[in-house]
Amino acid sequence: MSPKLEPPDRFELSATPQQLFYHVKHDILATIGPGYLEYTSIPPAAGYQVVKSLGLDPQVERKSVRLLYNPEIRTLSITIPTALHNCHVSWAFQELSHALVVGFFTQIELVDLDFSSNTRFDNFPIPWQNIYKEPDCYIKPAGATLLTLVFEAGFSESYQRLIADKNLWLRGGAPVVNVVMLLMWSLISGNKVKGFIELWRSGAPNPRHVDIFPAPAPGPPHK
């Protein structure tokens, strides 16, 4: 995996949104393989304008990046994901299929769900109107303005950034967003990977934490 890139922590306050756009676009196109880019201290109006323009750029789109502007912490970030970063998508699809088989969902209910990834959301209500977010995966009832269940995965970025993503969804997406599932992966010795999942519910102060790999000791099933 490519090392984390280190762009300037603070973009010059005198820079125009157009200058920032070309600066970030250059960094995206120059990144070989997976990586994570982060730019801090970006004013909300400029950050939203730049990230939306990046989302419409054909060259950036071909890189299959995940774009985010978080006005709460004034941070613009770009994730170029690994295959591991996306592994939860197939798992979530399998679980939805299993839910149909065991009768948790009816066929009509399942068809009524929008299950996807790489979709851009920028229709958050005031005062969150400058949020621009592409979830790693989500489930949304047909006709809903926002999601009810969101997956956010991290590999290159820090756990603190995943928590910021979670806060963005549960605060900016309230009361529609109900559950955010965080998946955190990291390298350990021997070129192996460890990972865990945290399930955060709206209104609950603490998450449910489950280790994924290395596999935890056998115990009672989680409810």
The pLDDT of residue 216 is 67
The pLDDT of residue 142 is 82
Phi, psi of 110 (to 5 degrees): -65, -40
d(CA 62, CA 60): 5
β-bridge mates for residue 76, sequence order: 39, 69
The pLDDT of residue 208 is 94
The pLDDT of residue 8 is 44
Please identify every stretch of the chain with a pLDDT value under 50, giving residue numbers as ranges.
Answer: 1-9
CB-based contact 172:124 (threshold 8 Å): yes
Q: How many CB atoms lie within 10 A of CB 186?
A: 13
Q: DSSP state, 155? A: S
pTM across the whole model = 0.81
